[in-house]
Every structure is written in structure tokens, then in C-alpha cells.
Chains A and B, each alone.
Chain A
Amino acid sequence: MARVPRNFRLLEELEKGEKGIGDGSCSYGLEDSDDILMSHWNGTIIGPGHTVHENRIYSLKIYCGDSYPDRPPTIAFLSRVNLPFVQVDGKVDPNKLSVLANWSRNSSIETILVEIRREMASFNNRKLPQPPEGSVY
């Protein structure tokens, strides 16, 4: 199989993100629309229903380095959240989130956001006490 280089891969992801993915509960885009290296991204997750996260909107920062997608991006929450894989400064611990710990080239910004949202709704996390809505790191 042809190995899609970083920049063309990120262009594909950008185009997909611009069109909107799934039911709109996760979205992402470039932080700066003329970032020619496409390194800095914003992500948004709408908290899953029937959990403590319901109706909350979480903002995240995503950084895709030079070796993306061979290496995973780094992810940090801007909105405060209490989850076992999020450190006190908002950074997502790559060892504690399986999509990052078991990173593959087939994973993407989208699959990360979708997995984080799924984790919010998991049995262990859905009732964790949360910081005040709207607070940021």
C-alpha cells in the first residue's frame, strides 16, 4: 500500500473535519487557517448524554508533530475536566488512553476525539465529579 505522507494525510483529515463528522458530537479544525504545516488543531467534544458531562462543551488542543501519523499527536484539554487519563495540567496522558498507547497509522484526530468521548460515557467515568462548567486550565 502507498504510504500517505504527513501533509497529505492532514489535508484529508482537514477536509473531512470541515465537512463535519458523524452526528456532530466531535469536531476539529486548524487553529490557524494559514498554518501551512497544519501542526496546531482545535478539537471540540460535546459531552455524552446521561452522564455528568451532558450538555458540556469541551475544547481541546491537538498538536501534530513532524512524524505524524507515524507517531500520535499530543492532546490537551483546554476545558477543565476530571478523567483518569487527563493530567492536572489538562494534558492527556498517552499511556492511559488506548488509542494513543496503541497508536496506529489508521488512527486519526477523529478517532482520538471519538474515543475520548466514549471514555467519558464509560461505566467508571460517567459519574466522576467534575470541575465547574466553563472553567479552563
Chain B
Amino acid sequence: MSLPKRIIKETERLVNDPAPGISAVPHDDNLRYFDVAITGPEGSPFEGGIFKLELFLPEEYPMSPPKVRFLTKIYHPNIDKLGRICLDILKEKWSPALQIRTVLLSVQALLSSPNPDDPLATDVAKHYKEDEKGAQNVSREWTRQYAS
């Protein structure tokens, strides 16, 4: 099974020159499937946590976006109970000019700036809107419990 040159180049760069706080390693038996780890950004309720994700490049990549999902439980208004992420560049704002690296940096940025106005986990978003401090405390507690 031949892998497009673009994916090979992106993978080399991810491995040899990783973005700070982000690692992505392809599976030996499926080079389109990556184990990802993102460290919780400093100053966010996710600080100190290491979050596991999985990423898959579909056949149509880069014309279609990568598929990304959290495997670590996380209390965040834009991430649901199954780890699915609500992020515009993973959907309608995807452009083939974006890369795996930019996607993962955007996911990391989403941890720093939750967006309760565009929620996926509606109960968490409601909590974030009505009592941000309280909600952040739950996020911190979950980070301690599940991400470290």
C-alpha cells in the first residue's frame, strides 16, 4: 500500500521536529493512523494533564480533513463524551493547505480557549456559561483524575 508523499513528509516533520507539547506517532501497521498526545496548556484548567488522542487520515486526505478524537476523558464544552471535537477546521473550514500539525495546534489552542457558544457537550457548555469558575474546577479535577 503506497502512502502519498505529502503524508510521508508531514509524518517526518512531526517526528523529527515536533511542536511543543504535541506528539504524533504513526502506527506501524497503518501509517495513516496516529497515536497523539497533547499536554494541557499552561494557565488552562487542563495544565498538568497529558491527553491521548487518535488521528486518522482518510483516503481523501488532504481534500478531506483528518479525523481526530480524544481518548482521554475531558470536561470541555467543545468535546463530547466520546471524545469527538467540535472545531471548524475539522469540518467546513478545512482547507488542504492545513496540516496534521496545524490541526493538533488548533486542538491544543481549543483547550486554552473553550467556546461554550458553539458547544458539542451541551451540559458542559451550560455549566461553563453559568458558572465558569465552577466548571473550570471540574475540568481541573477531571484532568487530575484522568489525564495524569
13 contacts between A and B (CB under 8 A): A2-B32, A2-B57, A2-B61, A3-B1, A4-B58, A5-B33, A7-B54, A11-B69, A11-B82, A33-B81, A35-B82, A36-B81, A36-B83
> Does A7 lie within 8 Å of B59, measured CB to CB?
no
Inter-chain contact B82/A34, CB cutoff 8 Å: yes
A5 touches B83 (CB 8 A): no
Residues of A within 8 A of B83 (CB): 36
Q: Which residue of B lies closest to A7 (CB)?
A: B54
**Main SS at interface, chain A:** loop
Taking Cβ atoms with an 8 Å cutoff, the residues of B that contact A are: 1, 27, 30, 32-33, 54, 56-59, 61, 67, 69, 71, 73, 81-84
Closest to B58 in A: A2
Contact B56 A4 (CB under 8 A): yes
CA–CA, A3 and B3, complex, Å = 12
- Interchain CB contact under 8 A, B69 and A7: yes
Across the interface, do A36 and B73 meet the contact criterion of CB distance under 8 Å?
A: yes
